[in-house]
Structure 1
Amino acid sequence: MPYILFPERLGKESIKDVGGKAANLAELVNAGFPVPEHFTVTVEAYNEFVRSNRLHEQFTEIISKIDFQNVESLKENCQKLRDLILNARMPSLIYEHIASAYKKLSMLPETREIPIEMLRAGRESVFVAVRSSAVVEDIAKASSAGQYESILNVKGVDQLIDAIKRVWASLYTDRATYYRYKNQQPIETAIGVIVQRMVQSEKSGVAFTVDPTSPVKGANRIMIEATWGLGETIVQGQVEPDMYFVDKTTGQILEKKVGHKILQTIRDQKTGETIKTNIPQELQDVQVLSDEEILTLAAYCKKIEEHYNFPQDIEWCAERGKIYIVQTRAVTTLQEHEEKVEERGAEQKERKVILQGFGASPGIARGVVKVIHDLNEMGKIEKGDILVTTMTSPDMVPAMEKSTAIVTDQGGATCHAAIVSRELGIPCIVGTRSATTTLHDGDKIIVDATHGAVYLDTGET
């Protein structure tokens, strides 16, 4: 197996060779969808890196010492595993193959941001995104949402080699290691790495080919979320995105909700680094995608679902008026929760709503509030509590698993809190804007995520 593969030689059956994300991207490229130019550092390259540095025996020894019920044990041993990878030498042959593929990527007409003469002289190279593609990632029953690292705006061979090792090392973050343990996946596993032309997105977001909050009743509704800049702010729940719904059969726009968007992620033109900055005030309440762009993207989404014959979770971006697909994976939660709880929502009609947001994972739950301001407070969460926070992250998954419901200040239907809550089958309300200030530790509340409402629990039935 080669150390480097371009998508023309891959397809959806190539998961064991390049990981799930890269296999799906290759499938899209070969089916004619607009995907940014890229190559993949194969699983074999990672395995050879491990072999040449004699890491396997050390991995086995360290993993055997992890007590997965002890946070400190998990943290200490995972750091040792990551350090082994970060401090190991990249084999010269793999280095040469990566450098050659990167040069080829930089020379492609579509990737050129700089004069071709400078590229030929070896003085300049293209910005790329370096993204994980784990063998156990993005498969139908486990989304691994946010578990592995992606590094944006990487430029130059040395930075690229460093970024690839960082992605390899992210196999052993505390959260990723614990996630594999909880989902009965191999602790020691392998990973591919996608090196993709960095699209400098003016607009970006996520689309589902079913309504993720109601996948049975909403099977004919394509849902699109959109914001300015790069899409990280949506996935990380740092922005209130626009939300558009399109009828899958007729292609008509059914509904548009324009979000109040404050923060964006962009590339700093001076330093080349990825930064977060405020969106200009005149754009904060403006519809991101034109109606024509909404319909173009929805048509792509419908065709991708038809290609896979299964509902898809799609990441997209737009640069200079062109829409690109940067990821697709199977929707991992297709069970309908509304049918069990919809009638119970009538019980709440006479109660006073103290907080309103978007019901991202339907259901009703009651419990005691625990407000989490940072990761150091996760120990407060006991089984059956309601987790209230600005936005969840992959590091919060152990606390989320104990919670009976989740309420956040920020986020939309495709943010981390929403995705994980749907996988766990617990109610979740996002985008309340003020949950962490309105609610306090010890408050007893009812979370009606079917209707996006929070009530004080007076003990009445």
Structure 2
Amino acid sequence: MNTIRNLFPEDIEELRHLLQTVYRAIYLYQHDRSARLEASMRAAIQSCMPFLERFKPHIPAYKQRYIELLKQPDRMAPYDLIICFDRAIYELHTRLKSGEIANRLPWSKELRDLLNERQEPAPESTEGDDAADTERVDFLTSGVGASRGEAAGVARVILDSVALAKVQPGDILVTPMTDPSFLEVADRIAGLITDRGGLVCHAAILAREFRLPCIVGCRNATQVIPDGEPIMMDTTAGIVTRIAK
């Protein structure tokens, strides 16, 4: 039986390294969109194709199209390539979360954990940060600034993608983590804040493509930021504050 459980451990480690390399290449390209870094990103994505091809037969046909598109990377603009690759990994992950069905697929717990990861570059030094920021009376939460900029607007706390219809132009979306349905409101919001994730999570990658200020990994943003509250987000400091009324 051809299952990941029967593969050599080196295969899992190879895939782990490849995914880490791809997401780091995407991260670097999004911060300096040079031809050299674009070529490096494209090569990294192609290095994952043998693994994606191996998994493709085990997912529904309509989800396989993202892997198929990646076979023709030269026809894709960098934006399309980034979105398509991240969506392909997302589709594998969501299939693995499908409960009883997932238990019959050739994915071990180790691979499920691996596909759920977002490998991050080494964190930058935070020496000299002003800890007093977290003591301000208007302070709400803090996290990692994943896409640069500042934004002010009404917080729209969304716990379920079905509720995205509530998002109005200029709102700041506050959510546990984004999924592909986020694209419906990406051109409508002023900023993005998430409970989970790191510098190369789904939310961070898409925020950089849409030039949206983004703070990820706040842990408690959806709990401490009231829906409808006017807020300010500063991605340089990684903090979210209340706007005095």
- Contact 1:387–1:400 (CA under 8 A) maintained in structure 2: no
SS at match of 1:388: strand
SS at match of 1:244: coil
- Contact 2:169–2:188 (CA under 8 A) maintained in structure 1: yes
Match of 1:231 in 2: 115
CA spacing shift, 1:39–1:357, aligned 2, 3 Å:
closer
CA spacing shift, 1:350–1:25, aligned 2, 3 Å:
closer
CA spacing shift, 1:423–1:349, aligned 2, 3 Å:
farther
Match of 2:30 in 1: none
AA of the residue aligned to 2:224: T
1:132 aligns with 2:67: yes
Match of 1:407 in 2: 193
Match of 2:205 in 1: 419
The C-alpha deviation readout for 1:56-99, integer Å capped at 9, x for no partner, is xxxxxxxxxxxxxxxxxxxxxxxxxxx9x77xxxxxxxxxxxxx
The C-alpha deviation readout for 1:244-270, integer Å capped at 9, x for no partner, is 25xxxxxxxx769xxxxxxxxxxxxxx
TM-score by length of 2: 0.58
Higher relative CO (Cα under 8 Å, sequence separation at least 6) belongs to: 2
- Contact 2:66–2:87 (CA under 8 A) maintained in structure 1: no
* Equivalent residue runs for 1:313-392 within 5 Å: 352-392=138-178
AA of the residue aligned to 2:153: G
CA spacing shift, 1:437–1:27, aligned 2, 3 Å:
closer
* Equivalent residue runs for 1:145-160 within 5 Å: 146-148=86-88, 150-151=91-92
SS at match of 1:144: helix
CA spacing shift, 1:380–1:132, aligned 2, 3 Å:
same
SS at match of 1:147: helix
- Contact 1:244–1:255 (CA under 8 A) maintained in structure 2: no
Match of 2:83 in 1: 144
- Contact 2:187–2:210 (CA under 8 A) maintained in structure 1: yes
CA spacing shift, 1:424–1:130, aligned 2, 3 Å:
closer
For structure 2, the residue ranges without an aligned partner over 5 or more in a row are: 1-38, 55-59, 97-104, 127-133
SS at match of 1:400: coil
CA drift at 1:351: 6.5
1:244 aligns with 2:122: yes
AA of the residue aligned to 2:203: A
CA drift at 1:448: 0.7
The C-alpha deviation readout for 1:381-411, integer Å capped at 9, x for no partner, is 0100011111011112112321101111111
The C-alpha deviation readout for 1:284-338, integer Å capped at 9, x for no partner, is xxxxxxxxxxxxxxxxxxxxxxxxxxxxxxxxxxxxxxxxxxxxxxxxxxxxxxx
CA drift at 1:368: 0.4
**Whole-angstrom distance in 1 between the partners of 2:180 and 2:151:** 23
- Contact 1:364–1:448 (CA under 8 A) maintained in structure 2: yes
AA of the residue aligned to 1:454: V
CA spacing shift, 1:133–1:350, aligned 2, 3 Å:
same
CA spacing shift, 1:38–1:370, aligned 2, 3 Å:
closer
CA spacing shift, 1:26–1:427, aligned 2, 3 Å:
closer
Higher strand share: 1
CA drift at 1:352: 3.5
AA of the residue aligned to 1:402: R
CA drift at 1:242: 6.7
SS at match of 1:377: helix
AA of the residue aligned to 2:122: Y
CA spacing shift, 1:37–1:361, aligned 2, 3 Å:
closer
* Equivalent residue runs for 1:268-287 within 5 Å: none
**Whole-angstrom distance in 1 between the partners of 2:191 and 2:66:** 31
AA of the residue aligned to 1:229: D
CA drift at 1:40: 5.6
**Whole-angstrom distance in 2 between the partners of 1:233 and 1:27:** 19
CA spacing shift, 1:36–1:365, aligned 2, 3 Å:
closer
AA of the residue aligned to 2:67: S
The C-alpha deviation readout for 1:358-381, integer Å capped at 9, x for no partner, is 111121111001111112111110
SS at match of 1:370: strand
CA spacing shift, 1:383–1:26, aligned 2, 3 Å:
closer
**Whole-angstrom distance in 2 between the partners of 1:151 and 1:441:** 32
Match of 1:10 in 2: none
AA of the residue aligned to 2:78: A
For structure 1, the residue ranges without an aligned partner over 5 or more in a row are: 1-19, 29-34, 42-82, 87-128, 155-162, 164-197, 204-227, 235-240, 246-253, 257-347
Match of 1:453 in 2: 239
SS at match of 2:193: strand
* Equivalent residue runs for 1:296-307 within 5 Å: none
Match of 2:18 in 1: none
Q: Which has the larger radius of gyration?
A: 1
Match of 2:182 in 1: 396
Structure 1 segments of 4+ aligned residues over 4 angstroms from their partners: 25-28, 35-41, 198-203, 348-351
**Whole-angstrom distance in 2 between the partners of 1:446 and 1:356:** 12
**Whole-angstrom distance in 2 between the partners of 1:419 and 1:401:** 15
Match of 2:5 in 1: none
